[in-house]
Amino acid sequence: MVFSSNLFVFLFLPLFLAAYYLTPGRWRNWTILLGSYLFYAWWRPDFLLLFVAITLWNYVFALAIQKYREHPRCFYWLVVGVAGDLAALGYFKYTNFGVDSISALMVSVGLNPFYLETIILPLGISFYTFQALAYLVDVYRGDAKPTRSFINFAAFISFFPQLIAGPILRYRNLERQFEKRTHSMELFSLGASRFLLGFIKKVLIADSIAPVAAYLMAAPEPGFVDSVFAVVLSTLQLYFDFSGYSDMAIGLGMMMGFKFQENFNQPFVCQSVTEFWQRWHITLSQWLRDYLYRPLKKTLNWPMAAATFSTLTLAGLWHGADLAFVLWGAAIGGMMVLERRLGWVTTMSTPYSLFRNYRAQAFLWFIWPLFLAGNIPDAWRMMSGLLGLNGLGSLNNLALYVSPMTLFFCLVAFVWERSAAFYNKRFYLGLDESNVFQDVSSWRVPILWCGFALAVTRLSAESFSPFLYFQF
């Protein structure tokens, strides 16, 4: 079950919200927990057992860390707790990658390879594992106290609005909201509008771009023009797909009285790669900063360059078990180090420069194939096109395979992204409630409902498309 499906929009969500608001206030976390478990089990009931086991594991170890806080044994409880989380993540996400890498190495030296049955990746494991890790570390540092309520903690870990693809939440920021939160028609309406916005982004824009992006990315020997359009449209598809999910998650949270952190802040207006990383998937970049970069730099006294490069390389590995993702993260980390050396680092208050924006975008567009393709051969095929190694190319055949409506939404996506960059200085100065692409004031509501109706029509005519970040 996914947000962008008729089953979720017209059956699960209305029934869940009805049950939630009919439940007495002190029992509503139970409703969240049971609804979230049902949502997750709809995909694979057997993996729900793993989910519950990880939840129980972190609940117990957090209490043990608190109990032995003044004892040297406290650190060992943290190590074992973190190791258990990483072992589960490593087994399901990276075992096949490791076996394939070792087998390839064995073949290269003339030995017979060995094989392992493909391990299915549980949905959302990268996200809920990171939330659990942050909880243990926060308790160990004293930044949060472990909750005695298993229901509250389990509801937090399993909270279905952000369970599959974030934003990555921290219990210390939501603890009070799980204990007591305010419900109002204003907040519910704002959440519903935000959900509609995300639904439009996903179904009407991202899914409409997908056929064009897939066609161009599959070109056997793409020329320069083909490669540029392939990378730009695929990046826009990824952005509207993932930011659409985040908008829906934030909106669903509001409808239940929760306030989540924003996950995107107009990333394409960035003037440096460093700033891009601060605007794209914000909750992940902040998680890596607080739980990986700062310990490496401050606790282990690593140089800034080494800590930055290592953190971003591991960020690439987090996204996918393939060398292409590792190289993508390493490229971003290397450029961030270089920017600091050259004085190119910008912030959200840096005066805007079109040159700096396109300089950063040119680098990002060149390395995006590593992320978009997810493997070295396909990525290099597209990157060679960007380098002009296959000639200039053309888009002559595109009209034969793509409908005018699809091309129209490709144009909408491009105009939306560029308008966000240049329509108003407020977009560049940081998160702003007056942002026309996130503000859902009264006069925009009819527009959202019209867009939602059109998106539902499209969804009914075609099967739903899973969110791209589900595979991570």
Instruction: Point out the residues that are catalytic.
Output: 319
Nearest to 386 by CA among 277, 234, 162, 282: 234
Start-end of H helices in 68-142: 73-108, 125-141
> In the 3-class helix/strand/coil scheme, how is 39-72 assigned residue by residue?
HHHCCCHHHHHHHHHHHHHHHHHHHHHHHCCCCC
Distance of alpha carbon 126 from alpha carbon 455, whole angstroms? 29
- Provide the sign of the torsion angle of the four alpha carbons 413, 416, 422, 427, taken in this order: negative
- Provide the sign of the torsion angle of the four alpha carbons 213, 215, 220, 226, taken in this order: negative
Copy the structure tokens of residue 438. 């996130």
3 state SS of 92: helix
Q: How many CB atoms lie within 10 A of CB 236?
A: 21
**One-letter identity of residue 99:** V
**One-letter identity of residue 326:** V
- Please report which helix (H) or strand (E) contains residue 370, including its range: helix 354-373
Q: How long a stretch of residues is the chain?
A: 472
Copy the structure tokens of residue 54. 């990880």
Copy the structure tokens of residue 68. 């032995």
- Please say whether the beta carbons of 427 and 175 come within 8 A: no
Copy the structure tokens of residue 464. 């739903």
Copy the structure tokens of residue 34. 């049971």
Task: Give the side-chain half-sphere CA count within 13 A for 243.
Answer: 24
Nearest to 451 by CA among 194, 198, 192, 200: 200
Helices (H) and strands (E) in the chain, counts: 21, 0
Nearest to 268 by CA among 90, 413, 453: 413
